[in-house]
A and B are shown apart, each in its own frame.
Chain A
Amino acid sequence: MPETLTADQANQLAAYYSGIADALGKYRSDNWETLSEPQREQLRIARNQVRNQSTEMVKLALHLSIDGLTGTLARIKEATDQMKTAIQHLHNVEKAIKIAAALVTLAGALIAKNPAAIAEAIEGTFKAASDEPAPANN
């Protein structure tokens, strides 16, 4: 029987993304003096991509359910929480951009409702946040 992502869960995902975009924006602002102009620009683009993906998920939440995603929601939350923490303690702008890129890939897989791509993208987000292997899937 297919699992279902509810509107509430899609809203939660949208909120995770919005939070990550906020964290990227704050990181860019707090480190303005030390960032080069190309780095500021890369972060601006990455932050906007993540924020706009959040809006895409808001649209998704307004429509009928998506099959096959509920089991992965907890894992997505774990990944986005880890990313948010990682952004707060970043010393390396390249990592922030990698995190944003991983999130955009994950959002694309979610919106395309592709379970295999979603699973792969979640592992990618863990890797981007930690640069270490993803924790074991329960």
Chain B
Amino acid sequence: MLRRLILLIIMLSVLVQTACVDLSAIRKFTDISADAGKHFPALANDYYRSCMQQYYYQALEDDPFNVANLEEFSRALHNPDDPEITHRDPISAIEACRPFEADQKNLIKANKVLVAYLQTMGELAADDLTSYDKSLDGLNKSFVSSQFLQKDASDAVVKLAGVIIHAVTDGYRRKKLEGIIGEYNGDVRALAFGLQGAVHSYLTQLRNERGAMRDYYRTSIARYGDFASFQVRPRVVNGKPVPTVARNPLPIMAAKARWDAEESAIQTKIDAANAYRELLNNIADGHQALYRDRHRLNSQDVIQTALGYAKTADDLVEAFKKGF
């Protein structure tokens, strides 16, 4: 009898340990993905800056010695409503770039819902769900009215925010996880792909900023060449002046060093944004894998699959954090 009891205790202990491993695999995947998502606002808040920087380079190339104009660009970058901004170039730039400010806020909200959903999944897996981010309350109306993202992604924001709130207020337990994964897989994928499209837009915007930066440096160096050549006295050969060109490279070396630094800074952001795009793909695919095997979340192969997605997420998070 005692032997049977001991055997039963050992079997139960093994079962509990296996369950803990299972929980940690799903939770690891969701926690790592959610952690990267928390850094996303730094990326989202860069749209307006990048757009303004593009216009700044253009203004600098057009009118490089207009100090007031250039100062007002700095003001506009920090506060588009600064009443001291009066020059036409910064005002045009604000008009062109301002829509990104509203988009940034909506992107952050949409991403916050995805992060909160992943956290809820992880907490449900550990049977440790106690609270949710109260800023999700009332998100549905404000998000719909913004007409932001494609319709399926926009709808997913509202639906996922709803299930997160219900999960907490209705006291969902671990056994609900399977049902949630089953019901909301399409929404998670739609939102992840919608955000992926937004990050794609950001990447194109960074390329526009980089193009304007290159235009500026190319023109500046060419203009310096013209100016320096004008300063050089013609050589006199056999009593006749021979045209010559400037050969002093020092100012160009300084400009090139700055150009390289700015190229490198933009490339770091491009690499980080690409990592976040891949992370969103990993979230969509990882969720799809859990959806496919939702009826047997405890099995070893599902655990290994979840750990695989967690590992990929971990690598991508590191790459993303280098830029933001």
Q: Which of B204, B211, B218 contacts A58 (CB 8 A)?
A: B204
Measured in the bound complex, the distance between the Cα atoms of B194 and A32 in whole Å is 43
* Given A29-B218, A59-B100, A62-B148, A54-B197 contact (CB < 8 Å): no
Find out whether the CB atom of B150 lies under 8 angstroms from the CB atom of A64.
yes
What residues make up the interface of A, taking CB atoms closer than 8 Å to B? 6-8, 11, 14-15, 18, 21-22, 25, 28-29, 32, 44, 47-48, 51-52, 54-59, 61-65
Measured in the bound complex, the distance between the Cα atoms of B208 and A28 in whole Å is 17
**What is the CB-to-nearest-CB distance from B112 to chain A, in angstroms, rounded to a whole number?**
17
Measured in the bound complex, the distance between the Cα atoms of B100 and A1 in whole Å is 31
* Given A7-B197, A44-B61, A65-B151, A15-B103 contact (CB < 8 Å): no
Which residue of B has the minimal Cβ distance to A22? B211
Measured in the bound complex, the distance between the Cα atoms of B48 and A55 in whole Å is 11
Give 16 A-B contacts (CB < 8 Å), ordered by A residue. A6-B197, A11-B197, A11-B200, A14-B208, A15-B207, A29-B219, A51-B58, A51-B212, A52-B54, A55-B96, A55-B208, A58-B204, A61-B201, A61-B204, A64-B147, A65-B151
Find out whether the CB atom of B205 lies under 8 angstroms from the CB atom of A55.
yes
* Given A18-B211, A21-B211, A32-B222, A62-B103 contact (CB < 8 Å): yes
Q: Which of A7, A8, A54, A63 contacts B208 (CB 8 A)?
A: A54
Measured in the bound complex, the distance between the Cα atoms of B206 and A54 in whole Å is 11
Inside 8 A of A14's CB, which chain B residues have their CB? 201, 204, 208
Measured in the bound complex, the distance between the Cα atoms of B61 and A47 in whole Å is 12
What residues make up the interface of B, taking CB atoms closer than 8 Å to A? 51, 54-55, 58, 61-62, 96, 99-100, 103, 107, 147-151, 154, 194, 197-198, 200-202, 204-205, 207-208, 211-212, 214-215, 218-219, 222
Find out whether the CB atom of A58 lies under 8 angstroms from the CB atom of B201.
yes
Inside 8 A of A55's CB, which chain B residues have their CB? 51, 54, 96, 205, 208
Q: Which 3 A-B pairs have the closest CB atoms?
A: A29-B218, A7-B197, A25-B215
* Given A59-B103, A62-B103, A11-B151 contact (CB < 8 Å): no
Measured in the bound complex, the distance between the Cα atoms of B152 and A6 in whole Å is 12
Measured in the bound complex, the distance between the Cα atoms of B197 and A6 in whole Å is 10
Measured in the bound complex, the distance between the Cα atoms of B209 and A51 in whole Å is 9
Describe A's contact surface by its main secondary structure.
helix
Measured in the bound complex, the distance between the Cα atoms of B151 and A6 in whole Å is 10
13 further A-B contacts with Cβ under 8 Å, apart from A21-B208, A29-B219, A63-B149, are: A6-B197, A7-B149, A11-B197, A18-B208, A21-B211, A29-B218, A48-B58, A54-B204, A55-B96, A58-B205, A61-B204, A62-B107, A62-B198
Which residue of B has the minimal Cβ distance to A62? B103
Inside 8 A of B218's CB, which chain A residues have their CB? 25, 28-29
Inside 8 A of A44's CB, which chain B residues have their CB? 61-62, 215, 219
* Given A25-B211, A25-B214, A25-B215, A7-B222 contact (CB < 8 Å): no
Measured in the bound complex, the distance between the Cα atoms of B50 and A51 in whole Å is 13
Inside 8 A of A32's CB, which chain B residues have their CB? 222
**What is the CB-to-nearest-CB distance from B49 to chain A, in angstroms, rounded to a whole number?**
13
